[in-house]
Structure 1
Amino acid sequence: MEWVTGLYKDLHQHPELSGAEEWTAIRIALELRRFPDWEVTPKIGGHGVTAVLRNGEGPTVLFRADFDGLPVAENTGVDYASTHSQLDSTGQRVPTMHACGHDAHTASALGALSIIDATRDRWQGTVVFLFQPAEEASIGAHGMVTDGLRSIIPRPDVCLGQHVVPGLAGQVLSAPGPVLTSSTTLEITLFGRGAHASMPHRAVDPVVLAASVVMKLQTVVSRELTPGKFAVVTVASVEAGKANNVIPDSARLTLSCRFYEESMRSRALDAIKRIVRSEAAAAGCEREPEFKFLGRLDATDNDESVFSVVRPHFDSYFGEDSLDMEPWTASEDFSVIPRAFGAPYLFWTVGITPRRQWNRAEKAGRLDIDVPTNHNPGFLPDLSTLPVTSKAAAVAVLGCLGHQWPDAPETWSTDTGAASGVDAAAVRRAKVETSPAN
């Protein structure tokens, strides 16, 4: 499946920010032209794209892939590294990078689509591939739904998705139940009283107040919430002042909060508001702080019934590389799609770190240092994992269609291989590349 690698490198070199993925959406649509039997609909919720193949009576299975990048300057050293830049939402030109693997998600989804297309004589039903923009801004899935997605594609019986993560390359990890946290983004504005920097006694300094608030918020998880219940309250940004001789009259904090349970979210937000108001009162602020909710995502809670269908296929095909997924502390808007249709879903992860690098770092106790995480300038999927992510998606889709996955890749139908890029030899090579010897 060398064409998937070529596509991935092209996408990797041209990352685009959330809501501004015009080139990427066009690139996806052009790739889909190679599959003339698929109904392609572009420009859903901005730059969203769907592709539908109807192949007789049977279940409808949806697979989703996201494709936006991040405002990160890449530092991977590969010859296909991004040197791209783009205007952000404030009009500032910033470097862009696929620092979360969405380029791999997209290329792999198209690889899986080619497998589904080539094996259509072995399954019946309808398959939907959904390519989603603006995941990093947490608005892409909702934007596609509000732009009429439910009237554009057939209602799915099940929805599927995956994400690449740091971990041994080629390992496919899945689990039922909560696997990704809910996310709440909160902006807090503190109102002090401005003055000359040489006259702090005439001011109510919002910078000092912000510092007090940041420190006090560190007690929310440790002292307000039940021990053993997962919660994260991160102060992601603090902004105040623009001149060295001015005490500003306000400060702004942005919080990122993550939870698995709604009860923990409610208790944490109550504590945050109480602490902020109390600190402002203690500082002598005359105006109440303002709280603005910038976004919320529900937890990703995998359906047991979908897991019970897909996991045996993962175990059968990937063997010892099919493992249990530990709950991840990040959040995703993937579940917005199945919730819009009332459909059950499964979301899994695939490890992308070269095995030698991972094993060496693990042995030295330096995983956090030597293995870049998502959103890090050095984050880069090992190329050998691209066939794995393509096949994981195809295995899951075909499993949900009621297709019994062949034991050997040589048994795949390759009649349309020239058009789809799928052939048994390429699949065999991909299998060897992801062996434990890597």
Structure 2
Amino acid sequence: MDGVTRADPGVLKAALELYLDLHMHPEPSGDEERGAGLLADWLAEDGYAVTRGLGGHGVAGVLRRGPGPTVLVRAELDALPVHEETGLRYASRVPGVAHACGHDLHVAALAGAARLLARGARTGGGEGGGTLIVVGQPAEETLTGARAMLADGLFARCGTPDAVLAQHSAPLPAGTVAHGAGPVLAGSRALDVVLHGTGGHAGAPQLTVDPVVAAAAAVLRLQAVVSRETSPAEQAVLTVGRLRAGEAANVVPDRAELGVSLRAFSEAALDRLEEATRRVVTAESDASRCPAPPSFQRVSSSPPLVQDAGLADAVRRGHAEELGEGRVGRWPPATAAEDFGWFGPAGEELHGRRGIRLAYWMLGTAGPAPGTVGAARGAVPGNHSPAFAPHVRTALPTGITALAVAVERALLHCASGDALLR
């Protein structure tokens, strides 16, 4: 197997088999029972004390290696409602569901690293003290799983970490990792919006109030929230990802639904985007004489993902020493979003602990011949694409090594920091 790793070949083989199983049997957010069971059984076999059913199908395994800090390392269990179009022999066998974001790769790398750390198979501190919490999180794609696990007492039941680590697949060269400074990913909010009309016959539109027209006008007007109400120096994204109305061409429906995604790098910016969305949709509803005001529901939210600078630098230096400087790149702030930030300072109201440090990096997945599988015009299919296909033979061993090294460096960094405070 290609890639950079010191792992025992048996660990790599088992992790690859786990990856293939997960890839062929993806489960959407909230339905991750099978994958959670595979991870839980794997951790139990390696001596972790396993808790199942956290915040849904969440899994946590605890390995106490002696006195020292506690480090939590997490991967996501869920897949996407996407029909896979990779042409791979091990493609998804579940119609309309696929691991198009690499969560199967994350779980397999997490399992491999957990086994290395449990066996003390690594050199350079692998048999030191401290406690390791390995978490398989459900429902990341809906941005609800992290909060659900915390609300279900993850820290109270398994221990409160000093540091929390995670990595995410990205369309970078396989065998590499990339680190960011400052915000790594944007915060986000998702809104479900309903515009209300008066239904009727398509041949007598004067007797109706058409919510489709109001919704279409709102979609167009919303584009100006970023282009005309947001400073060009500020990164922000507003996307209407869903517009649903009606069932038949000859019937004016009585409601139209919008799904709106907002992304920015501060809570203040997210507040402005949400206020503008409500204002624009309400104005278009009024302009169309809709019989009732529109309704708004915030269905999910996540904070901007901001790392602890000291911990992130310690992990980056560990990766550079292990993988080589040429395999460790830089990651600019991206307007993708995920719910990892709730495990850190942004989630203090949920978990009640101050001072938890976060570190997060990107794991390259693009193979040596990009564009050969499902790609158009030589482009590398990115995350959430039906053609997303990590070069697993290189990415998986690198991911295992990156996680194991990060855990070791985080334990050392937190131990030295605590000593200085004493």
TM-score (norm: length of structure 2): 0.88
Matches within 5 A, 1:174-185: 174-185=179-190
1:258 equivalent in alignment to 2:263: yes
Structure 1 residues 185 and 121: CA distance shift in structure 2, 3 A: closer
Q: Deviations over 1:282-333 (max 9, x none)?
A: 2222321111111111111111121122111111112211111111211111
3-state DSSP of counterpart to 1:401: helix
Q: Is the Cα contact below 8 Å between 1:58 and 1:124 reproduced in 2? A: yes
Structure 1 stretch displaced more, 319-328 or 26-35? 26-35
1:138 equivalent in alignment to 2:143: yes
Structure 2 residue aligned with 1:304, among 309, 325, 334?
Answer: 309
3-state DSSP of counterpart to 1:77: coil
Structure 1 residue aligned with 2:154, among 131, 149, 168?
Answer: 149
Shift of residue 264 of structure 1? 1.7
Residue in structure 2 matched with residue 378 of structure 1 by the alignment: 387
Letter in 1 for 2:143: S
Matches within 5 A, 1:204-283: 204-283=209-288
Q: Is the Cα contact below 8 Å between 2:183 and 2:265 reproduced in 1? A: yes
Structure 1 stretch displaced more, 24-33 or 344-353? 24-33
1:346 equivalent in alignment to 2:347: no
What is the rounded CA distance, in whole Å, between the counterparts of 1:252 and 1:131 in structure 2?
33
1:14 equivalent in alignment to 2:25: yes
1:401 equivalent in alignment to 2:407: no
Residue in structure 2 matched with residue 160 of structure 1 by the alignment: 165
Residue in structure 2 matched with residue 33 of structure 1 by the alignment: 44
Q: Is the Cα contact below 8 Å between 1:306 and 1:345 reproduced in 2? A: yes
Shift of residue 270 of structure 1? 2.0
1:331 equivalent in alignment to 2:332: no
Letter in 2 for 1:128: I
1:2 equivalent in alignment to 2:1: no
What is the rounded CA distance, in whole Å, between the counterparts of 1:52 and 1:226 in structure 2?
46
3-state DSSP of counterpart to 2:146: helix
Letter in 2 for 1:210: A
Structure 1 residues 269 and 302: CA distance shift in structure 2, 3 A: same
How many residues are paired up?
A: 388
Matches within 5 A, 1:56-205: 56-85=66-95, 95-119=96-120, 122-205=127-210
What is the rounded CA distance, in whole Å, between the counterparts of 1:188 and 1:13 in structure 2?
35
3-state DSSP of counterpart to 1:356: coil
1:52 equivalent in alignment to 2:62: yes
Shift of residue 11 of structure 1? 0.9
What is the rounded CA distance, in whole Å, between the counterparts of 1:29 and 1:380 in structure 2?
26
What is the rounded CA distance, in whole Å, between the counterparts of 1:283 and 1:32 in structure 2?
58
3-state DSSP of counterpart to 1:65: strand
Shift of residue 121 of structure 1? 6.2
3-state DSSP of counterpart to 1:33: helix
3-state DSSP of counterpart to 1:122: coil
Letter in 1 for 2:164: C
Unmatched tracts of structure 2, length 5 or more: 1-11, 414-422
Q: Deviations over 1:324-352 (max 9, x none)?
A: 11112111111222333431101111110
What is the rounded CA distance, in whole Å, between the counterparts of 2:301 and 2:377 in structure 1?
28
Q: Is the Cα contact below 8 Å between 1:225 and 1:267 reproduced in 2? A: no
What is the rounded CA distance, in whole Å, between the counterparts of 1:132 and 1:262 in structure 2?
24
Shift of residue 122 of structure 1? 3.1
What is the rounded CA distance, in whole Å, between the counterparts of 1:396 and 1:61 in structure 2?
10
Letter in 1 for 2:85: N
Structure 1 stretch displaced more, 283-292 or 195-204? 283-292
3-state DSSP of counterpart to 2:300: strand
Q: Is the Cα contact below 8 Å between 2:208 and 2:252 reproduced in 1? A: yes
Structure 1 residues 204 and 369: CA distance shift in structure 2, 3 A: farther
Q: Is the Cα contact below 8 Å between 2:370 and 2:378 reproduced in 1? A: no
Letter in 1 for 2:17: G
Spell out structure 1 runs of 4+ moving beyond 4 A: 366-369
What is the rounded CA distance, in whole Å, between the counterparts of 1:150 and 1:53 in structure 2?
14
What is the rounded CA distance, in whole Å, between the counterparts of 1:230 and 1:347 in structure 2?
20
Q: Deviations over 1:139-166 (max 9, x none)?
A: 1111111112122112111110010111
Shift of residue 35 of structure 1? 0.8
Letter in 2 for 1:304: A
Letter in 1 for 2:109: S
Shift of residue 368 of structure 1? 8.4
